[in-house]
Chain A
Amino acid sequence: DQQVKQNSPSLSVQEGRISILNCDYTNSMFDYFLWYKKYPAEGPTFLISISSIKDKNEDGRFTVFLNKSAKHLSLHIVPSQPGDSAVYFCAASRLYGQNFVFGPGTRLSVLP
């Protein structure tokens, strides 16, 4: 039973355009959310976070949107760059600082 879903296994975007990665969750008790990107043979790199008291958080080219009623979050990358090509994971937690449940990941390819 997957509590965190990333229904698009892969996504291709042209360089300079917007990348939108989506994540859905089933547990309404999740209050803390993280996005990571992962290159092959490396550990996940933290990108951006959001908690349920907010509906948007921005950090440079990355913006995360949270819709609690829909149990949906999305990561926007603008503008997309070839170096953004990686696997992106969203993760959710009920408890502050404790275990995170990860989605299966979306592979983003940014084409030059």
Chain B
Amino acid sequence: QQPVQSPQAVILREGEDAVINCSSSKALYSVHWYRQKHGEAPVFLMILLKGGEQKGHEKISASFNEKKQQSSLYLTASQLSYSGTYFCGLRSYNTDKLIFGTGTRLQVFP
């Protein structure tokens, strides 16, 4: 079953903060976050493993709540370059496939 992301879209002014959530109905081993700009390939941001948290990119951090099977991506002091669609990719136990979420479109304006 596909992970659900919320919100579907976010509009921000430069310097504002945003939170993107990703939830699953399955027990999770790891969560991967990607950003995709229009017409480009997804770019890896960071990975969160069960029992840990890793920061991977600029002023962007994330959390992983294993019990709730949820992950949140935090974007602070957003920049114009943050614009794009954010996808979470979830990996469950006993599989090495990623199932990608529904995506959150983020637009940052000056």
On whether the two chains bind one another, the answer is: no
* Contacts from A to B (Cβ < 8 Å): none
* Contacts from B to A (Cβ < 8 Å): none
